[in-house]
Each structure stands twice: as C-alpha cells, then as structure tokens.
Structure 1
C-alpha cells in the first residue's frame, strides 16, 4: 500500500504512541464504568480477559517473528485492541469466543500485515466480525439485561457463566439489545407498543443512553487533548443522523434517531473505533468523507441488513475505501493554494 508523500514542514507529536494509547484507555474508563454499573460485571471481565489474550498473542507472534517483544508491547496498542473488544462484546460472551476474536484481531488483522502501522483494517473490528460470523448465537444472545450492579448477577456468578458458556443459565440474565428488539418488533407493532418493552425503560434505551453518554464524554476528552480530531466523529454522527432524518422519520417503520444515537455502540464506534489512526483516512477532508460514509452505512445495515448494530461492518467496509479517499483528498502542499488532486496530467 503506497504512502502519500507530503511536503515539509513536518511536525513531530510530543506524545509517544504508548502515551497516546494510554490516554485512549483512560478516556474509555467512563464508558466501562457505565457498562459495569448498568449491565453487571460482564464487560469488566471481558476487558481484563481480552487485554490478557491480546498481550499474550502479540508476544507470541513477535517472538516467532524474532522481534524484540518488550519493545513492541510497551506501545500499548495490543492492550487497546483488547480493551475495545472487551467493551464491544456481549457481557456473557463465552471465554473461547472472546479468545477467537482477540487472536484474530492481533494475529490476522495486525501482525500478519507486519504489525502496527501496516494493517489496512481495524484489528478490533476484524476480530469482532469474525466472532460474529463464526458464533452468531453466542454473539447475539448473551447481552445482559439492563440492571443496576447491585441487582445484577454477582462477580463469581458472571465468571462462572462466561467460563462455562452455559446458555441455559445465562438465558435468565439476558435480553435483546434495544436496536434488535425494535427492529424485530416494529414489523408487527406500533412504536408505542414496542417502547413498552422493559428493554427501553423510561428513557431512550434502558442503560444504553448512559453508556453512550459516558463514551461521548471520553471522546470529547480525546478531542480536547488532541489525541483525535473532531472530523470523523462529527461526520459519522452527522451521516447517521441525516440518513435517519431522510428515511426514518416514521417511528412505526424504523428506529428513531434517538435510538440510533444512544443505543448500541454508536459513541464507542464514533470516538474510539472509527478514529483508528492507522486504518482511517488521513486528511481532514478525507476524514469527513470517511466518517460520513460510516454513519450512512450504519443506518443502512441497521435498517435493512441482518445485524441490529453495524459499527464493525461499516468501519471495515470503509477501511477498504481509505486508499481511494486518500488519493483524491490529499492535503494542501505547503506554500501552494490548491492540493494536487486526481490523475497526474489532468490537474486543475
């Protein structure tokens, strides 16, 4: 994959990769705390387990490649991949499903391409997509019922459920996600009838609006610290919002905009997943196109596809398009008024 050549002056970021990844993990803590508070211990257990597997898998591959293990592990990128998968997976995902997702992310999507900086696809989303396609039942029936932590299954109960993967036991604690429930019930009911379901509670989506709000707060922190720019998150949310306003204003047919924004993995995807610096578009204009297309794809797949939440597939589809986007949206060359665009010899 050819790199875009940019003219001087080149700037050097004051923060190292390891420090940037550390800030990403810190910014994700409010979202993890909200998930634990409203859905029990599952995501916290998943995060710890996935980070451990990610570091172990990366160390094993680096050792096989005869690379300095400690040097590459200290950049914290493997830990971030494990963190994102732990936040994204259902709360009662069996341990082996999580392991397959993480190993696929690290080995197939990252190290197979040469490691950090060479992967064309978001590793965490590759792992998630592989797990979803390979284990559709485990990935769609293990979402915890929204319940305050003190009313949810205890830490040891949750650990036993994840370790055993006993679906019969887990069924008593699980419930469909709001997006899944709305999508399947709206075909035969009105919006008012669907929203009576306990999944939605008294708000937009019981517990989920707080989780998305927490990830939004963490994302704004990343923007304030200049770890990420605003372009991809704002464009993604705008693309999702415009699609919803254009095609889904009738709540008796399609999920309302509030549900798209505050249920599922929307804010996690907008601020922590789509903004991956390696697999995302590079220029500001390219980021706007990239983010808006992801938002549009999320709406299309949620509304007419087979999956209630579509962040992973939307991000991966746009990862395919990043070289094309980068080719046609290069930044302005320093000292010139217009950027070089399009096919050489046909520049305006």
Structure 2
C-alpha cells in the first residue's frame, strides 16, 4: 500500500498535524506545508447546477497577456461539460498541463491544423488558438450538447482573423473523416465506468465505457491506457507528413509503460515534457483507481503534493521531460499506490500525480 518510509510515516502521523486552513506551520517532522492539507473531504468537486464560468486569461493560463484571445471571457457549460477549475488552475488540466504541451511542441514545430479530442468546455482549443498560428481547428467530444457549447465558447473568446472550426460529437477521432492535421492532442479518460454508472448523466470526464470491439494490447488494458492507445491508432491516417500526436497522461504508471503503449500503436514516442498536477476530484478519481487496482489492474501511484512541488520547483516542464526517467527514479521512495493514496486523501492530505506529455510520431 505505502511504498517507502515517507508515506508510511505520513499515514501514521497525519491526523496529529495541524491542518487548520490558513495555518502556515508544517506538520511536525514531515515538512508538509499546511497549504497541502485540507479538512477531511469525502464529497465531490463536481457541480450540479452551474452553467457559466468567467475566465481571466492571464490569471488562469499564466502565459502572459493574450494577443489573439479576449483577456476575459465567459464560458457556457452544459450539465455534461467538465467544470474548469478557474479558481484553482493547479488542479485544472488545461491550465497546468495542456498549455505546457502546446508551448513545448510549438517551440519546435509549426502547427496550422490542430485537433483536440474530448475538448469539454473548449478551453484547450482557446489555448491552442493563442499559442499556434491556426488556420484549421477541429474539436470532438462524446456529447453533442457539449460540442455545441464548446463551439460557442471558442467563437466568443477568439479575436482577429477567422479560423475554420470543425466540430462533431462521437467516439475519440471517429467524427474526423479526411483532412490532415499537424497536431492531434488528447487527454482522454483512464477509468472504466462502473456497472451502475452511465456516460449520459453528469460529468464523467475521468471515465469511459469499457466495452470496446477493438484489439487492445494487454499493456494498455492492464494499465488503464486503452483510450490513449486507440487515439493513437485512429490518429495515424489523419496526421500530416510532419504531424504528431500528443498524449497528455497522468503519470500514475511508470514512464516505460507509456512509451511501450505508444510503440504498440506503431509510433516512436518521447517524453516532450514532464510536470505534476494536484489531483482534481480526488474522491472520484483516486477512488476509481483504488477500485481498479483491487480488481487486478495497475498498480497506480500518487504522491503528496508537497513532494512533487519540491521535486519540480526549479525545472521547466521541457527540461524535466529530458530528465523524466531520473526524476521518476528519485521519487520512488515517496510514491503511494491507489489504496494508500485514497487513505491519505480521506485523512486530509492533498494528493498529486506526475504528468507525462508523450509526443508520438508514426513509424
């Protein structure tokens, strides 16, 4: 359950720490800042009635003043749209991960035609529009209502010249027929839906329908990477001659597993960038990984947020990408599997995970 001395000690003494909100004292002997402790939370972070969110570009993305996008815009959300963490960007996947992936790739490559798979609110498309010089943009998501709202959000936020937007609902890249793209980005879910869950009720952004007809290798199914594998397979005929796929994957399994998965899909893969993210929706997500680990998948690993902040604080994501294997090795004694991570979460510790931005080019 707990891998290494640090997590085991942490689990034993956590309840004795002063985790009062606003207290700046570290837990005695554990060097865990109070900002990474919270009152014990067992409920959901997911909303049920919110239908609009206002985004301040500079505050949310932290990449400076926008040139092609409004400095502030309001997003419309459906009941099926994933809620952006506008008040806590460190928990938000677009703000803390997707933007880094786009910047790292854009520093080396020109992107004129871009796809984002499973766009949700459309924030990732907005970021891509600001960072790249796009002529064509394609977005997909599973639900038509989500796609419709995302298109409205994108149109209302972008400035200047027109960009052609193709938007369609469907499974992974299935809605895209013909056309070539310079970059296909995905941050698809990892956790299979449970038998009592439905994809058409509420936010299910971290889950997917597990029944698939495709032939998926064991390395993908055993490590809950099935949709990432399928996205790469489906991306091949859609990539331009210099195109690439970027898989943004929470590093809850070893880096070697991620690279092997891409290889099985017929790609040469590299870690473009490496970073970390506070686990959003910890009750649902860590709980989901815990269930799947108990069922024989994984194991899956998490870390106390304070550990990852310290490990990555002096490294840019691009630099960390080149050192990813060494960083992963240095963190071995701090990692906690899903069972232990869930216990720590329930006791008030903010958990996090590494993020590997895997860039894959067809063989």
TM over 0.5: no
Q: Which has the larger radius of gyration?
A: 1
What TM-score do you get using the length of structure 2 for normalisation?
A: 0.23
The structure with the greater share of residues assigned to strand is: 2
What TM-score do you get using the length of structure 1 for normalisation?
A: 0.23
